[in-house]
Each structure stands twice: as C-alpha cells, then as structure tokens.
Structure 1
Amino acid sequence: MYRITKEFHFSASHQLAHLPADHQCARLHGHNYIVVVELAGETLNADGFVRDYHELKVLKTYIDEHFDHRHLNEVLGSSMSTAENLARHFYDWCKARFPETAAVKVSETPKTWAEYRP
C-alpha cells in the first residue's frame, strides 16, 4: 500500500461551553491547528502518484475560506468544535473529493492529536 500525507495549518478559536465552568476548554480560547490528510492506494496512477499533491490545494482553499481566523463554534456548531469532530469533518470533506482518503489527523497543540480513520 502506498501512502501520502499533506499538512495544512490554520488558526481559530472555539469554546466547549458544555464542559464544567472550571474546565479550561469551557473558556473561549484559540489554537494553531494542524490538519494532516492521508491518502492511500494499492497502485499508482500513470504519473507515479497516489494523487498529485497539487490537487489537494482545494483543501487549503476550503480551510482558508471557512476555518482560518474563525470561531469554530459558528462554523461547526457549539458542541462540534473538538479536534475529534474536526478530524471527522475534514475526513468526510476529503473522502467526497479524493476517494483515496484514508485518515485525517488534527492537532490543537504540539502534544495533542486526534485522528479519524474508518
């Protein structure tokens, strides 16, 4: 199996208001997010790629237009702005456009990652 990944970055705020008031994530805060999309294929195309990285530019455009410097509660809904839900959201978006999508990982901090992989 061949696997490729591409990394994307954006900054955004969110608030997990359903958590107890003394939980740090219940307060409005922001992150510098990293999104890593993984594509996989058993064979390569005629150019020797799983998929040309250049074709993934539409994901960068989508992130820049809808997520970068936004409040994620307004973009995804108040309870959907966790890293886990972001990973699923980006997976579904990518899978609809790139059938080779195998997984998406999202980082909120250098030490934390969430992944969606069916």
Structure 2
Amino acid sequence: MFTCKKTYHDIPFAHRQHHHDGHCALIHGHNWSITLTFACHEADANGFVIDFGKVKYLKTWIDTNLDHACLFNEGDPEKDALFAQFGHLFKTYTLPSCSCEGLAQHIYEIFDPMVRFQTNGRAWVTTVEIEEDSKNSASYSSITSNC
C-alpha cells in the first residue's frame, strides 16, 4: 500500500466546548491545520497516490465551511439562541463534536467518500489529523485500510 499526506495550514476558526468546566466553555479561536493521509494499492499513471493539483475540492470545502467560522457541538444548548440573535455576525458550522478528535472524525467522514468518488475508488483517506495552534493534535483513522 502507498500513502502520501497533504496539510492545510493556518485555518482560522473558533469553537466552544459547552461541557468543559473551564475556559474552553467560552467561544475562542485557534489557527488549525488539517493533515490528510491518503492511500492506494496502485499508484496512478503518474506514480501518485493522489495528484495534489487535483484535490482543490477539499480546500474549497475547508474554505466554505471552516475558514473564519465558529464551530458548535450539535448538543450545545446555547447555540440556537446565539444563532437567532447574533448569527448574522459570524459564519457557523455545527457538527457532532467540535473537539479536535470530533473534528478529525467529522472531516474523515466527509473527505473519504469525496476522495473515493474523485479517484473512482482507487484512493481513499486513511487518517485525518487536526492540529490546534501547533500545540495540540488529535487524529482519526479508518478501521480498514482499503475499499
């Protein structure tokens, strides 16, 4: 199996951990990085796992959904009231868990099918690593390594 990685650096967005018993319960921002590990059993005609010039659709998704956004957990009891009153002032994105771990899993679940579709099933995402301010990171990996 071949693998390669692509990293998107310095993506600014905020989040709030509403269950946290400290300052992370407040809306706060970070500069994030997303590293994707791709895999395949057979490289393409160019010898690539993924042609990095042809994954602009991933960057477009990041820019559309995460760049300068504020992420909220689906279960955040304050989000609906906040969106109703102030939602016109910022871009929001809701997901099951906006922790590093939850974001890694969420992005995996979105990007893996996209990559499989774009490569006709030849390549896939094996791991998504999320880095928060170059200090903390978490990753999510698929259980199986092939189609």
Q: Does 1:98 align with 2:115?
A: yes
Deviation at 1:92, TM superposition (A): 1.1
Identity over the aligned pairs, expressed in percent?
A: 31
> 2:127–2:140: 8 Å Cα contact kept in structure 1?
yes
Runs of 4+ in structure 1 displaced over 6 angstroms? none
Which of 59, 70, 93 in structure 2 is aligned with 1:75?
93
Larger radius of gyration: 2
Q: CA RMSD in A?
A: 1.3
**Unmatched tracts of structure 1, length 5 or more:** none
> 2:35–2:129: 8 Å Cα contact kept in structure 1?
yes
3-state SS of paired residue (1:72): strand
Normalised to the residue count of structure 1, the TM-score between the two structures is 0.90
Q: Look up the equivalent residue of 1:5 and give its one-letter code.
A: K
1:36-76 alpha-carbon deviations (Å, 9 max, x no partner): 01101122111211121112211111111111001111412
Q: Look up the equivalent residue of 2:17 and give its one-letter code.
A: L
Distance of 2:47 and 2:131 partners within structure 1: 30
Match in the other structure for 2:5: 5
Match in the other structure for 1:108: 132
Deviation at 1:15, TM superposition (A): 0.9
3-state SS of paired residue (1:98): helix
Deviation at 1:94, TM superposition (A): 1.2
Deviation at 1:24, TM superposition (A): 2.1
Q: Look up the equivalent residue of 1:116 and give its one-letter code.
A: Y
Q: Which has the higher relative contact order, 1 or 2, with Cα contacts under 8 A spaced 6 or more apart?
A: 1
**Unmatched tracts of structure 2, length 5 or more:** 73-91, 117-123, 143-147
3-state SS of paired residue (1:85): helix
Count of aligned pairs: 115
Distance of 2:35 and 2:55 partners within structure 1: 11
Deviation at 1:14, TM superposition (A): 0.9
Q: Look up the equivalent residue of 1:11 and give its one-letter code.
A: P
Q: Look up the equivalent residue of 2:135 and give its one-letter code.
A: K
